[in-house]
Amino acid sequence: MTRFAMVIDLKKCISCYACMIACKQEHFIPPGLFWNRLLISETGEYPRVTRWTYPVLCNHCKEAACVDVCPTGASRRRPDGIVMIDADKCTGCEYCVIACPYQQRTFYGDDKGEYFPGQGLTEYEIIGKKLYPFQSGTVTKCNFCAERIDAGTKKGLKPGIDRAATPACVITCPPKARHFGDLDDPESNVARLVRARKGRPLRPESGTDPSVFYID
Amino acid sequence: MKPYEWMVTYTPQTVWIERKGVLIWLSLYAGVLGGGTYLASLYFGSLHGMILGWLVILLIKSGLHLAHAKRPGRLWRMVLRPQTSWISRGLILTGLFIVFGALQIAASMRAPGSGAELFFMIAAGICAFGVIVYSGFTMSSVGGIPFWNSALLPTLFLLWAVLTGVVVVTAMGGARVETAALDILVLLVASMFLIVTYLSVAAYGEPVMKESAKAVMKGRMAPVFFIGVVLVGTVIPLVTSFCGYRAGMLPVSLSFVLVFCTIVGGLSLTYAALKAGLYSPLSPGGR
């Protein structure tokens, strides 16, 4: 079986927000919505302060709480482990938004939003609405760039190795802090990193078995 | 909450309590009110109470769900996953209650005492019970919000539903005050005990639960909790029903005060529970 997973090296992340922007660009994500985010926090007091940076995205959990609570079956987990939302089936009840312990789902309610309010849609937004139409009144989230993976796999490319079959945030990351691959393949880069550097998911006590791991 | 605090500190759930989410709060409570009134009416044999409970669920609860729906044309899809989703189960139970309740009311009017009436009473009663507890289970099944993730929540909803139901039926003249007043007293004491237990469990639980309990008892939800739940929802009904029990009668005006108080108490309780739901921070720097 295949289980796509991501490993994020916190030592390499430089908080440049390139992943957030690449994601927005790749999916023509409307204003106010984010599939990728950066959480930045501080602990301690001057002069002993620690700054924590956590890039977060949908964890594509093996035991996804969002999939279980979805009353319509719009949220589903593909055989390769990617958790998807079928916008045509979503009713926008937002139970999945509530259920996600990582809060990585967002309700898209306003399809009138413009990046430059009052100035009309940019060419980029017009193209985006054609290529990647978001349905208002539904829930959205990161899909691990499933369309890139699917198109690349059809061409015989390997996700995580070949750029064209790898999520946009991974190939964009300037310090190469993000790694992508098949967790079930013991020889894949992600499986080796998780093993060798004790990769840990966020909040494992949630019992959702996430597919995004952090190493430091 | 500032954008840079999101999931870095304790993050409140807003989806089911702010903006259009207010409709979910009201619909959850309407299920408790309608289901409780119907169950209490079955116990006391009050047909008017049954009709009222049925109408609350048909018009108010279902109406609020429809008003909340962002894609009403797809609502039918929400009954497709009863194997895992409490919303699916709840909608099925609500639909069945509306059908069985209508048949029971019709049978009670046209053929009282018949086998059909008894059958529909049992079926509608089971569905009413389901409508009440599903409100609690919908919340308690959310593992990401530990404050809600408790088996005590559906029990508390059930208890409050029966309490409100008994009060409503008594006010409608469907129950004898001498017996109903004692029932109300017992239910109030049991509810108080359950609320204290629920908050105590949270206060001694994991940090995010403590934070939620603190929000209810000392923080932003304290006025709602102490005025709405404790004073209006519990103390006033306790004194009123105790006086009614001692006197063996309850003036109509006081029985309506009781109805008002238990409804305000139930609304406040649901509101405080929904509003105090917090997510744990994702980053270790969270506090």
Every domain of chain B and the residues it spans: 3-279
CA distance A150 to A157: 10
- CA-nearest residue to B81 within chain A is A71
| Per-residue pLDDT tens digits for A114-148 | 888 888 888 888 888 888 888 989 999 999 999 99
In this prediction the pTM is: 0.91
CB contact under 8 A, B81 and A90: no
The reply to whether A180 touches chain B by the CB within 8 Å rule is: no
Q: Which candidate from B13, B78, B282 shows the least CB-CB separation from A93?
A: B78
Chain A stretch 122-161, residues whose beta carbon is closer than 8 A to a beta carbon of chain B: 136-138
Spatial separation of the C-alpha atoms in residues A82 and B4, rounded to whole Å: 28
Smallest CA–CA distance from A94 into chain B, residue = B15
User: Are the beta carbons of A188 and A35 closer than 8 angstroms?
Assistant: no
The reply to whether residue B142 touches residue A69, judged by beta carbons under 8 angstroms, is: yes
| Averaged pLDDT, groups of 10, chain A, 216 residues long | 94 94 93 91 88 93 95 94 95 94 91 83 88 90 95 93 95 96 94 94 91 94
Q: Which of B81, B149, B275 would you mutate first to test chain A, the one with the most A CBs within 10 A? A: B81
For chain A, the domains span 4-215
**A41–B contact, CB cutoff 8 A:** yes
DSSP B14-73: -TTTSGGGHHHHHHHHHHHHHHHHHHHHHHHT-HHHHHHHHHIIIIIIHHHHHHH-SSGG
d(CA B16, CA B7): 18
- Tell me the fold of A4-215: Alpha-Beta Plaits (3.30.70)
Whether this model's ipTM surpasses 0.95 comes out as no
Mutate to test the interface with A, among B77, B137, B148 (most CBs of A within 10 A): B77
Report mean pLDDT in 10-residue bins for chain B, 287 residues.
81 91 95 96 93 96 92 90 94 96 94 91 96 94 93 94 93 79 90 95 93 93 94 93 82 88 95 94 70
For tokens 């967790």, name the residue: A183
Contact B8 A137 (CB under 8 A): no
Nearest CA in chain B to A54: B283
The CATH class given to the B3-279 domain equals: mainly alpha
